Amino acid sequence: MVTEAKSQTSTYVVTGANRGIGLAFARELSRRGDRVIATARHPATARELIALQVRIEALDVADEESLAVFVRSLAGRPIDVLINNAGIGQAGPGLERLSLEDLNLNFRVNAVGPVAVTQGCSPTCERAGGAPSSTSRAASLRSPATNREDGMPTGRLRPR
């Protein structure tokens, strides 16, 4: 494998960086020498993230005050890339048993959250010479017809 030397480092914001794909992004970006601003709802308990020695900020994408504090923490620092990775989801009850409270929380985190973070980071992305662009985890609701009893997809439609 041929690896090219980077002529300059970029600054990345990675939301939901305390585990999974977000942690993998933070780890790889840090390894290759980029500046990483990683977020987690509870930074003090994000041991693997702390071990990376990247900048860690608290952020709950569903909480307006948390987002405002996070945006202020950027203090005009130009952001080259925003990775909206924060999201929630779990195998759970089928749509017919999903509470409106859980549905609302999922929507706030997975749909509204990435837009709010992108809006909040927009001025710092523009300072870096770019326009904000956002990609996020996709949230979806499965039909009861495609769920097993434990809420996981069957991969096929089952008769009612």
Q: Residue 147 falls within a domain, yes or no?
A: no
CA quadruple 60, 64, 68, 69: dihedral positive or negative? negative
Cα distance between residue 8 and residue 66, in whole Å: 31
Instruction: Tell me the residue ranges of DSSP E strands in the chain.
Output: 11-14, 35-40, 55-58, 81-83
The CATH number linked to 51 is 3.40.50.720
The region of weakest confidence among 42-46, 48-52, 107-111, 121-125 is 121-125
Tokens of 102: 């859980």
Q: Which domain holds residue 116?
A: 11-139
Strands 81-83 and 35-40: unpaired
Tokens of 88: 């929630």
Instruction: Note the pTM of the prediction, 2 decimals.
Output: 0.75
Q: For residue 99, what pLDDT band results from cuts at 50, 70 and 90? A: confident
Domain count, the chain: 1
Q: Residue 78 falls within a domain, yes or no?
A: yes
Say yes or no to pLDDT of 19 above 90. yes
Say yes or no to pLDDT of 29 above 70. yes
Q: For residue 121, what pLDDT band results from cuts at 50, 70 and 90? A: very high
Q: Residue 57 falls within a domain, yes or no?
A: yes
Q: Residue 115 falls within a domain, yes or no?
A: yes
Cα distance between residue 28 and residue 36, in whole Å: 10
> Minimal CA–CA distance to 57: which of 77, 31, 28?
77
Q: Residue 4 falls within a domain, yes or no?
A: no
Output 153 or 105, whichever has higher pLDDT: 105
